[in-house]
Amino acid sequence: MNQPSHAPAGKPLAGYLLGGLFAGLLLLQGPALLSPPPSARAGELDPVQNSVISTDLFLSWIGNQQKSLSLSPDQVRELRDIRVDFKLKSQDLGREMGRIAGSLSRDVGTYPIPLNKVKPSIRRLSDLRGELTLSAISSLARVQGILKKAQWDKARMSWSAHLAASRSTESSSPSKKTPPKK
């Protein structure tokens, strides 16, 4: 009777608890995490899109840090594989989300709106967004699995510095909206 607790499909209960904890954090964040802030303008990215793009950029960047992180050729190859896997998965999910969003847009444009078709589409779209977020997190976990802790810590610090430098360059460059003063 002293067996480890398992959830359905024989997976350890701890994995489900961790997933439940993450899901709880998502729920605590409420709509703010999954929808753009009220001040967002049309065309801006929502947090999930930003997360996916950030993960893609990070995976591209870290594969080019062979010298600074002292990456072995095997690590570089595995990082490339992780980046390619993530890119393919995110493209597949993005295509399916686009297809569903197009169908949803058509359905909402009809009179009367067919709620029996809209509800499942919204649920599937939500599921796909969750899959995309999980894919981004899983890719980062895979990166952690091939790097030594010191390499991971150095990569995080270097990436933060890289982002800060990018932001300061963007903020110091003249805006495209206002013409330079003469």
What number is the average pLDDT over the span 152-165?
Answer: 88
Domain range summary for the chain, segments of one domain joined by +: 46-156
Q: Which tens digit of pLDDT belongs to each residue from 13-34?
A: 444 333 333 333 333 333 333 3
- pTM for this prediction: 0.64
- Confidence (pLDDT) at 164: 85
Token couple for 153? 């810590």
Q: Which of 16-25, 26-35, 84-93, 152-161 has the highest mean pLDDT?
A: 84-93
What number is the average pLDDT over the span 67-86?
Answer: 94
